[in-house]
Amino acid sequence: MLFNSFQFLLFFPIVTLLYFLLPYQFRWFHLLVASCVFYMAFVPIYILILFFTIIIDYVAGILIENAAGSRRRLYLLMSIIANVGILVFFKYYNFLSVNINEVFHFVHVQAAIPLLNIVLPIGLSFHTFQAMSYTIEVYRSNQKPERHFGIYALYVMFYPQLVAGPIERPQNLLHQFHEPHPFNYDDFVVGMRRILWGLFKKAVIADRLSLIVAPIYKDPQHCSGMATVIGTVFFAFQIYCDFSGYSDIALGTARVMGFKLMVNFNKPYNAKSISEFWRKWHISLSSWLSDYVFNSMAVSLRNYGLAAVVISALVTFLVSGFWHGAAWKYIVWGALHGIAIAYELLTRKSRKKLFKKIPDTIGRIISVVLTFSYVCFTYIFFRANNVHDAVVMVKKVPGIFPEIAGIARHSHTLAQLLGGISVSSVLVGFGYILFLELVHKLEGKENITEVVAAKSKVVRWSLYFLVAGTVYLFGIFNSHQFIYFQF
């Protein structure tokens, strides 16, 4: 079930109202059933996979708690192998088979691993990582195992964050299912505001920008440098509004019921470095990878000094790339981020020295622009159909300069450079980006919902009508999936 669908418009108020009408002791069951309904709206049969991992991890958690020494490690390993095994089978089997077959072909071995017709269960990477964080935290003794099977199942399946995160940690979420959460008007208002803002970002901005991005990336051979740059910048904002919009709706729906989920985005395009970008972008995933991959590796390789940190960063971002999808383009995307982080780690001192010579504001602007440009460059690999197409598009980027000169000389027009995309739709796209950045500027260090809360009643209600009206009239609702659902 999509958050921007008519079904959800019915589902959400019914589930929420029932939640508050039911006595506290039945609420977990109600939420679990609702989450099953929510998940089964996609591919019903795949709920069995979820149940399988839930049972494995529930039992593993209790076994780890009761065991000692190497047995604890064994139970953790078994749980991780089960989770990763499911992920590998459903997400990576065909990718691995194709590549192994390529290797066989290359070394002239007459063998081929058959390909399977597998549909990736929606949100598999998200709930697998969330489930894994539970057993790891129990193993690390940071979390007591959950004895209530239903509540543990709800921890994995809680519908607001089931299919695209935030990837929660047991310490933050599990205890909340044991709390009564009486209706709280402030939570209701904050949650509803967040849902509205998330819907605006998704339906009005992201899906509109996607109408420009999709044709550019569909035919990379024939697009100009200008179209490549505009398409990529628009994709940067499309994916941000799509994913942060989803996260806002997830946080909002949970908040209305009194649950506080972790914040997933914090103005990532204002980051002054790639490291900072990853502290602001998909925070729940980057902190997961940092806690369970980067830190573990860096600690075990600590004797190698800075090299250990650099290698850990590279490996972590390769894992991040591979987590996003079973394709070389995601691995290249992850590697590019890993290389950037490694570069930042290795040149920290010299960059600091250099930036001391430049006034703060200018230095900040240069850093933000460079970081955003690099992030956009990596997005070409993320969004392109494959690495070959991405390389074709990267080669086109420098062409933007002679194209701009050509416009100045009237040898061609902007419309010609944009191919079939209208100049007015591009201007509207830039208008939305400008509006989004203006909102970010207004927010300062706060969240938009907090900024709105500080305004007078008249201003607040006018804003509600305006935003809701814009979503209603200008939002795109024809079942555009959220980009991160595919992961």
Partner 1 sequence: MKKALTNLLLFAFFSLPVLYAVQYIADTGLKQSKAQYFNTWNDIYNSKINTDVVICGASRAKLVISPKILDSVLHISSYNIGINGGYFPVQDALFKIYLQHNKKPKYIIQNVDFMTFTDGNNLVDAEQYIPYLSNPIISDLTDHYIQRYTWPEKHFPLFKYNNHFNFIKEGFSLYFHIGNHASNKLYKGFAPITTPFDDYFTLRMQKEGDFIRNNIQKNIDSEFVAYLDFCKANDIKLIFVYGPVLREARAFMRADTSAITRKLMQYAQQYNIPFLNYVDEPSWNSKQFFADHIHANYLGSQAFNERLANDLKGIIPAAQ
Enumerate the active-site residues. Answer: 324
426: Cβ–Cβ under 8 A, 6 or more apart, which residues? Answer: 212, 230, 418
Cβ-based nearer residue to partner 1, 26 or 461: 461
Interface with partner 1, residue 183, by CB under 8 A: yes
Q: How far is the CB of 190 from partner 1 (least distance, A)?
A: 12
Stretch that binds partner 1, among 276-284, 311-319, 411-419, 468-476 (CB under 8 A): 468-476
What is the rounded CA–CA span in Å between residue 89 and residue 124? 11
Q: Which tokens in the block code for residue 428? A: 């509207």
Cβ-based nearer residue to partner 1, 96 or 476: 476
Cβ-based nearer residue to partner 1, 107 or 473: 473
Q: Binding string, 399-438, against partner 1, x = CB under 8 A?
A: ----------------------------------------
Tell me 142's DSSP state.
S
Tell me 291's DSSP state.
I
What is the rounded CA–CA span in Å between residue 380 and residue 395? 11
Which of 51, 374, 477, 485 binds partner 1 (CB under 8 A)? It is: 477
Cβ-based nearer residue to partner 1, 4 or 287: 4
Q: How far is the CB of 473 from partner 1 (least distance, A)?
A: 6
Q: How far is the CB of 436 from partner 1 (least distance, A)?
A: 19
Instruction: Kindly calculate the radius of gyration of the chain based on its CA atoms and give it in whole angstroms.
Output: 24
Alpha helix ranges (H) inside 384-447? 387-396, 400-408, 414-417, 423-443
Cβ-based nearer residue to partner 1, 372 or 464: 464
What is the rounded CA–CA span in Å between residue 132 and residue 264? 19
Alpha carbon of 439 to those of 280, 315, 443: distances in Å? 17, 36, 6
Size of the site for partner 1 (CB under 8 A): 16
Helix (H) and strand (E) counts in the chain: 24, 0
Stretch that binds partner 1, among 46-54, 386-394, 395-403, 462-470 (CB under 8 A): 462-470
Secondary structure of 248-289 in HEC code, one letter for each residue: HHHHHHHHHCCCCCCCCCCCHHHCCCHHHHHHHCCHHHHHHH
Q: How far is the CB of 201 from partner 1 (least distance, A)?
A: 17
In DSSP notation, 444-462 reads TTS-HHHHHHTS-HHHHHH
Which of 24, 52, 401, 472 binds partner 1 (CB under 8 A)? It is: 472
Q: How far is the CB of 465 from partner 1 (least distance, A)?
A: 7
Cβ-based nearer residue to partner 1, 401 or 472: 472
Stretch that binds partner 1, among 56-64, 288-296, 388-396, 461-469 (CB under 8 A): 461-469
Stretch that binds partner 1, among 59-67, 183-191, 230-238, 351-359 (CB under 8 A): 183-191
Cβ-based nearer residue to partner 1, 343 or 464: 464
Interface with partner 1, residue 42, by CB under 8 A: no
Q: Which tokens in the block code for residue 232? A: 């990529």
Which of 185, 305, 361, 456 binds partner 1 (CB under 8 A)? It is: 185
What is the rounded CA–CA span in Å between residue 40 and residue 24? 25
Q: How far is the CB of 386 from partner 1 (least distance, A)?
A: 20
Stretch that binds partner 1, among 23-31, 83-91, 146-154, 469-477 (CB under 8 A): 469-477
Stretch that binds partner 1, among 24-32, 110-118, 182-190, 416-424 (CB under 8 A): 182-190
Interface with partner 1, residue 485, by CB under 8 A: no
53: nearest Cα among 132, 146, 142: 132
Interface with partner 1, residue 475, by CB under 8 A: yes
Interface with partner 1, residue 24, by CB under 8 A: no
Stretch that binds partner 1, among 76-84, 122-130, 369-377, 463-471 (CB under 8 A): 463-471
Which of 474, 480, 485, 486 binds partner 1 (CB under 8 A)? It is: 474
Which of 392, 464, 467, 486 binds partner 1 (CB under 8 A)? It is: 464
Interface with partner 1, residue 6, by CB under 8 A: yes
In DSSP notation, 196-228 reads HHHHIIIIIIIHHHHHHHHHHHH-GGG--HHHH
Q: How far is the CB of 87 from partner 1 (least distance, A)?
A: 35
Q: Which tokens in the block code for residue 76? A: 């953790």
How close are the terminal C-alpha atoms of the chain, in Å?
A: 16
Which of 18, 20, 67, 272 binds partner 1 (CB under 8 A)? It is: 20
- Say if CB 422 and CB 230 are below 8 A apart: no
Amino acid at 164: A
Cβ-based nearer residue to partner 1, 202 or 324: 202
426: nearest Cα among 205, 209, 200, 238: 209
Interface with partner 1, residue 468, by CB under 8 A: yes
Q: How far is the CB of 188 from partner 1 (least distance, A)?
A: 5
What is the rounded CA–CA span in Å between residue 133 and residue 57? 10
What is the rounded CA–CA span in Å between residue 451 and residue 440? 11
- Say if CB 124 and CB 47 are below 8 A apart: no
Q: Which tokens in the block code for residue 466? A: 């305006």
What residue ranges bind partner 1 (CB under 8 A)? Answer: 6, 20, 183, 185, 188-189, 464-465, 468-469, 472-477
